[in-house]
Amino acid sequence: MRVLVVDDEKPARDRLRQLLDDEDQFDVVGEAGNGHDAVSLAAELEPDIVLLDIRMPGLDGIETAHHLNALEKVPAVVFTTAYDEYAVDAFEARAIGYVLKPVRRSRLTAALEQAAKLAGTTLREVATDARLDAPRQHVCASMQGELKLIPVEDIACFRADQKYVSVEHANGQDLIDDSLKSLAEEFASRFVRIHRGALVAVQRIERIEKTADGKNRVVLREGSQVDDKELIISRRHVAEVRRRLKES
């Protein structure tokens, strides 16, 4: 089985490599020092299993796992951690593979052998229970096998677009697999629903104005680079949008 090792600390990566080099059935195909590199390496190398440290700067382990889920060939994930009571409890509760540091050989091979693939919803629950930095800081778009991470702070709005959700952000527009409903829940503190099919970043809203035919619409701040002509607020959501705008 092909294994990708991800940890921000070199000695920790070395340790995993040392242990796996002694095992015939496992083959370390690559190492990454952070979540970003892990995702692109995983896309390129298509490993069977990713050994993923939880506490990493930038993208943490749980968020990285989330993005790995969007790959064409989704690898199984085994988390590694020195000490995270909450995360360990969350893994136990959901039968997710993990290894404690210092890493013990028998524990490592056992975890790798029973590594399971994780669904996005499970990961979100784990992130919450583990009291890690949920919600995610990036959303993930895949285009012809290539993976693109979009920082949440760059996003102006999410719009339901038939089967997909379109993300409109500082550098253009992308399609993602997440449902609008789950995005609304995950990013409730940052985004507000303006009608059934759209979420807008509260920070990006400059004001609300009336259109010629008496409807309310959102005007975005300059530099948002999103066509805001169609951001009509449905009657049901006007009060909520005004409230959130006032609070910000």
Partner 1 sequence: MTVAPESTSQDAQAYLPDFCAAGTLFIVLLVAELVAIALTLAAHDAGGQFLVELSKTSFFVLWLALLGTAIMCQLRNRLESTGATRAFVISFVVLEVVCLVLAEVSWQLTRIFGESSIIDDTHGNFLLRTFAVSSIVIALAMRYLYVSSEWRRSIVLEAQARISALQALIRPHFLFNSMNTIASLTRSDPAQAEEAVEDLSDLLRVTLSSPRDMSSLKQELETAAIYQRIEKLRLGERLNVRWDVGELPMRARVPNLTIQPLLENAIYHGIELLPDGGEVLVTGKRDGKMLEITMSNPVARGRSRDKDGNKMAMANIQQRFDLAYNGRATVEVEDADDRYSVALRFPEDRGDA
The number of residues that bind partner 1 (CB under 8 A) is 20
User: Does the bond joining 135 to the residue before it have cis omega, within 30 degrees of 0?
Assistant: yes
**Which one, 103 or 184, has the nearer CB to partner 1?**
103
Q: Which stretch binds partner 1 (CB under 8 A): 50-58, 201-209, 215-223, 233-241?
A: 50-58
Q: List, in sequence order, the alpha helices (H) in the chain.
A: 10-21, 35-45, 61-68, 85-94, 105-113, 120-129, 180-186, 238-247
| Encoded tokens for 150 | 């979009």
Among 109, 128, 137, 225, binds partner 1 (CB under 8 A): 137
217, two tokens: 């619409």
| Residue among 176, 81, 96, 165 at smallest CA distance from 138 | 176
Q: CA torsion, points 47, 53, 113, 140, in degrees to nearest 10?
A: -40
**Which range in 95-103, 163-171, 200-208, 230-238 contacts partner 1 by CB under 8 A?**
95-103
Answer yes or no whether residue 103 interacts with partner 1 by CB under 8 A. yes
Say if CB 40 and CB 147 are below 8 A apart.
Answer: yes
Residues 140/67, Cβ–Cβ less than 8 Å: yes
DSSP lists the bridge partners of residue 173 as: 168
β pairing state of 146-151 and 138-143 = antiparallel
SS3 130: coil
From residue 223 to residue 242, the character string flagging contacts with partner 1 as x (rule: CB under 8 A) and all else as - is: --------------------
**Binding marks (x or -) toward partner 1, 3..42, rule CB under 8 A?**
-----xxxxx-xx--x---------------x--------
Query: Which range touches partner 1 (CB under 8 A), out of 2-10, 186-194, 200-208, 224-232?
Result: 2-10
What's the closest the beta carbon of residue 202 comes to partner 1, in angstroms?
16
Q: Determine the interface stretch with partner 1 among 96-104, 112-120, 154-162, 220-228 (rule: CB under 8 A).
A: 96-104
Nearer to partner 1, 110 or 116 (CB): 110
Q: Which stretch binds partner 1 (CB under 8 A): 99-107, 117-125, 164-172, 195-203?
A: 99-107
Q: Are 208 and 244 in contact (CB under 8 A)?
A: no
125 near partner 1, rule: CB under 8 A: no
84: which 2 tokens? Answer: 């995270």
Q: Does 57 bind partner 1 (CB under 8 A)?
A: yes
**Of residues 7 and 228, the one with the C-beta less far from partner 1:** 7
Residues that bind partner 1 (CB under 8 A): 8-12, 14-15, 18, 34, 55, 57-58, 82-83, 100-103, 133, 137
